[in-house]
Amino acid sequence: HDFRPDYMEITHIRNQFPKSVFLALTATATKQVQADIIKNLRMENPEIFMASFNRPNIFLQVIKKDKPIEQVLNFIENHPNQSGIIYCFSRKQVDLVTQELHINGIKALSYHAGLNDAQRTKNQQDFISDKADIMVATVAFGMGINKPDVRFVIHFDMPKSIEQYYQEIGRTGRDGLEAEALLLYSAGDIHKIRYFFKDNFDSAKSENLLQGMINYCENSVCRRKSLLSYFGESYSDARQDCVSSENCCDICASKKINYNQPRAILHKRIQSFPKPSKKSTGELFISDTLESNEKILSEKIRSWRKKAAEELNVPPYVIFGDKTLFDIAQKKPSNIKELTKCYGIGEIKAEKFGYLILKIIKENAQ
């Protein structure tokens, strides 16, 4: 209700429909927020259904903000041809980051309330259709966006709360493949957020939410553990098997990574292709060659998928998602029957696109 004050008026509907069943749905809610919803909607002993807050395929990382434009360029450079969202605190920052990306030859779009409706709609559609890999946006972007193949979310500025952070990183990796959430953190962001508290009707509550975000950034425990704990969930509840794995977050991986290397890979978590086992140095070369061939094939299929989507006037993921793309590149089917054994390819899609896909595979093999 502090986000949309009119939500407080919902209870009046109950007087008009006293026997109707009420269902309240929300993406993120702590125990206290759940209690608020139940109280304000006058729900009596409601059944509460809650899914896990754990998103095990998202690698969580927070690094000190130092030359942030260069840090973002480093990250994108090491994630070529991947779709991502960069969240900024203000419209001005969105425009600045977008301009810097353009200067460095990166196709990026912007999204904020300062753009007219037509421009926002066009930018959103172009992003969904893969006409640009990167969307730079304020918190205004994301509601209703269900692009499954977003591979990373970067927070150029610190969010105001864990709830905001969680919702925004939740827009990456919706296809279940590995994804990354990078947050650039600085004390300056804290002062900037607090400056805007003076216009807030409940600054004490805002400060409490901000403190939760600060604790998340500054603590030294596993970030996944910290995030789940905030929402009242434990590892055992989430049934997370890799909580101590380096794949969990930057803290769990910190012994193996040096984030201070200039113009180096901040952290490469996206491994689109399963790596063959390397039992000997003789097999090492073969494995690397196989992986390279898979990548070349996947990019050719990705390029075809984009053209096919443009012809059909649909987003590329409607043709098929990245999970299907990678499965085809790995299995390299040689006929329609083998193609239907790839993830997400049924008889209809095999009949519609099979010939062209098999042609690309055959040409790549040659």
Residues 6+ apart with CB under 8 A from 6: none
Q: What CATH number is given to the structural domain containing 294?
A: 1.10.150.80
The answer to whether position 268 is within a domain reads no
Looking at the structure of the chain, the number of domains it has is: 3
Task: Give helix 223-230 / helix 203-218 axis angle, nearest 10°.
Answer: 160
How confident is the model at residue 7, as a pLDDT?
85
For 210-239, how does the pLDDT look when each residue is reduced to its tens digit (9 = 90+)?
999 999 999 888 999 999 999 888 866 554
Residue 245 clears pLDDT 60, i.e. is over it: no
What mean pLDDT comes out for the span 234-263? 60
For 83-142, how does the pLDDT look when each residue is reduced to its tens digit (9 = 90+)?
999 999 999 999 999 999 999 999 999 999 999 999 999 999 999 999 999 999 998 887
Q: What are phi and psi of 217, to 5 degrees?
A: -70, -35
Residues 200 and 151 placed together within one structural domain of the fold: yes
Q: What is the DSSP letter of 111?
A: E
Separation of alpha carbons 160 and 177, rounded Å: 28
Residues 6+ apart with CB under 8 A from 194: 207, 210
Separation of alpha carbons 300 and 222, rounded Å: 38
Q: What are phi and psi of 180, to 5 degrees?
A: -130, 145
Whether 230 and 30 have beta carbons less than 8 Å apart is answered as yes
- CB-based burial of residue 123 (10 Å sphere; 0-12 exposed, 13-18 middle, 19+ buried)? buried
Residues 102 and 244 placed together within one structural domain of the fold: yes
Q: Give the domain range for residue 24.
A: 5-40
How confident is the model at residue 283, as a pLDDT?
41
Q: What's the whole-model pTM score? A: 0.81
Residues 216 and 287 placed together within one structural domain of the fold: no
For 291-342, how does the pLDDT look when each residue is reduced to its tens digit (9 = 90+)?
677 889 999 999 999 999 999 999 999 999 999 999 999 999 999 999 999 9
Separation of alpha carbons 178 and 152, rounded Å: 9
Residues 65 and 170 placed together within one structural domain of the fold: yes
Residues 162 and 307 placed together within one structural domain of the fold: no
Residues 127 and 248 placed together within one structural domain of the fold: yes
Quick one: which H or E segment has residue 135?
A: strand 134-137
Better pLDDT: 294 or 265: 294
For 36-83, how does the pLDDT look when each residue is reduced to its tens digit (9 = 90+)?
889 988 888 899 998 888 999 999 999 999 999 999 999 999 998 899
